[in-house]
Amino acid sequence: MRAGAAAAACIATLLAGCGGSGSASGGGGDSWAERADAICAETAARIRERPAAKNPADLERLMTAVVDDLKAGRSELKELELPADERKKAEPFLRDVDKVIDAAEKIRDAGDDHVKVWMTAYEQRVTALDLQDDGQAAGLKRCGGDLSTKGVDAVMMPGYAQDVAVYIAPILATIEAAERMPTPGHGAAYWKTISAITDPGGTGRDPESLSDLETEFTQPLADAQYTVRDLLNHYDGTVRVPAEELRQKERRLHAVVRRSPAKAYELLDATGPAGKALRPRVERAVRKLSRKVG
C-alpha cells in the first residue's frame, strides 16, 4: 500500500475514513452501522491501492477513479436496509457523503487548475468535520475519520509543489549569483543583490501541514530586510556602522542567506512525489536565472 495514494484520496474519501489501520475488515456485524463501516473499510482499501497523483494533471486521473469508487460505495450504502429508528441519525451522514462526492467531482473536473482544486479542497474542511460528527452520531466507527487537514493538504499538494517551484527559483538564483561575487557576505554590491529577496511574502496557498515549513524559509529573509537596509545605508555613507558591529551583522545575515537554499529545497521535497519530480527542473532554472542576475 502506498501512503501517498491513501493521502491523495483522503479529501474525496471522507466516506472511507482515512486514518487508523486502513485495513478492510469486510463482513461486519448485522446492524446498519456495522455494515456501513464494512463498506467504508472496503472503499478505503480500493482507494489506497491507487497510485498517487504525480502532478496537477495526473490528479484528474486519480480523482476520476476515486469518484467511481465513492459512487460504488455510496450505492452499497443505499442498498443497506436502514431501520426506521436509525434513519434520523443516519440521514445527515448520508447527505454529507453526497457532498463529498460532489466535491470530488469538482476536483476531478478542475483538471490542472490547481487554484480551483485548492479552493474546492479547502472548503471541504467543513464537510469533513460535519461528516465526522454525523458519522459518530449514527454509530459509525470507520466512516468519516478526522482527516480534514490531511485530506485537503494531500489534494492540494501537486499544485502547491508547482507554486513552491515557481516561488523559490528566482530567490535561489539571486542567492547563487550573490555568492559568486568576489566577497560574498560583504560589501555594497552583495547586499544590494540580496535586498531583492528580503521581502519574500509566500505562496499564499500553503497547505496547513506545511505552513510552518514555508514560514521557516520565508521569515528569516523577511526579518533580514531591516539589517540589509542598515548595511546599505552604511555603504552609501548615510549611516556609519562601527567596524565590529558591521562584521557581526554581516556574519549573522550571511548565515541566514546561506541556509536559505537548503530550507527551500526541504520545503519542495516535503510536498512529496510532485515536488521531488520538480526539483531537477528547479535546479536547472536556478542555474540559468542566476546568470542573468546582476
- Taking only the tens place, the pLDDT of each residue in 171-222 is 999 999 999 999 999 999 999 999 999 988 888 877 778 889 999 999 999 9
- Taking only the tens place, the pLDDT of each residue in 223-250 is 999 999 999 999 999 999 999 999 999 9
**Residues 6 or more apart in contact with residue 10 via CB below 8 angstroms:** 18, 147, 150, 151, 154, 155
Span 27-40, average pLDDT: 82
Domain ranges across the chain: 3-146, 158-290
Spatial separation of the C-alpha atoms in residues 103 and 126, rounded to whole Å = 12
CA distances from 131 to 4, 5, 14, 19, 45 (A): 23, 21, 7, 14, 19
Q: Quick one: which of 33, 286, 28, 244 has its CA closest to 143?
A: 33
Spatial separation of the C-alpha atoms in residues 259 and 144, rounded to whole Å = 41
Mean pLDDT of the chain: 83
Q: Quick one: which of 173, 176, 229, 152 has its CA closest to 198?
A: 229
Question: Burial code of 203-216, b = ≥16 C-beta within 10 A, e = fewer?
Answer: bebbbebbeebbee
pLDDT band at 149, cuts 50/70/90?
A: low
- Whether 78 has a pLDDT exceeding 70, the answer reads yes
The pLDDT > 90 percentage for the chain reads 47
Higher pLDDT, 278 or 100: 278
Q: Give pLDDT, residue 16.
A: 44
Question: Identity (one letter) of the amino acid at 243?
Answer: A
**Cα torsion angle, 97, 99, 100, 102, sign:** positive
- Whether 9 has a pLDDT exceeding 60, the answer reads no
Helix (H) or strand (E) holding 154: helix 148-179
Predicted TM-score (pTM) of the model is 0.69
Higher pLDDT, 274 or 173: 173
Higher pLDDT, 219 or 13: 219
